[in-house]
Amino acid sequence: MAVTEPRETQPVGGPPPADGPAGTARRRHGRWWGWLVGGLSVLLVTAFVVLAVLAGRYQPIRFGGEWGGGLAGLPAGTGLRTVNTFGSQPGEIYVPPQIGAFTQVESIANTGPEAVTILAVSIVPPQDQGVVIANGPSPPWPLVGTGRVLGAIETFTRVPDTIRPAAGLSLGPGQVMRIWIPMRLNGTCYETGSWSEVESFYVEERYLTFTHWVAVPLGFPLLFLYPSDPGTTPAKDLTCLTKR
């Protein structure tokens, strides 16, 4: 009888997978890697959302602290003067009834750490822009713009500041821009003894892809007789102008 030595045999297909500590370590490592990737993804998304919210709220435009003056070639108006300066009152600029245009000189400053682009400047609030009512009820706003708004980034040197259209200018951190806003009264009839006042002008700014309209206080509020329409107020109480 043939005698054979015993030998180790293995099932077809190779050895079974290891169930010991090494295999367990590999499976745990895979789970931790997935948790790490997931956690980092959540943190990145959260950071992006926070940055987007902060960028969307970034609004550094403020009043620049300078106002007044004129510029050759721009309308100055007729009879504008400072009133109500008694006591501690800062005063107002009275604009008498007139058909012609006048120019208000103001300034804005960038008080933030990032530059913004100026898209538009208007004496009319955004919600009333483009609204013109002819031969109808009183206009929605007592003033209207009459031309391009000009601006100049102040250098505070002896070199004259470059004056150009304000729309499109970039205002860097800490910079001040002087602004010339041409406008006219919106109406031809005014109620004697009734007064209206405008205290702000409006700036549209852009930071990254976000835009905002900002109300900026005038250096001196504008004061004028309240505009009205014939037929809504007794004629004896109206001051009406004739268009030329």
Q: Look up the pTM and report it.
A: 0.74
| 3-class SS letters over 165-196 | ECCCCEECCCCEEEEEEEEEECCCEEEEEEEE
pLDDT (tens digit per residue) in 131-148: 555 444 445 688 999 999
Per-residue confidence at 111, pLDDT binned at 50, 70, 90?
very high
Average pLDDT along the chain: 81
Rounded to an integer, the average pLDDT of 40-56 is: 58
At residue 166, does pLDDT exceed 90?
A: yes
Using alpha carbons, list the distances in angstroms from residue 15 to 7, 20, 21, 185, 204. Answer: 16, 14, 17, 95, 74
pLDDT at 70: 83
Tokens of 159: 């070199």
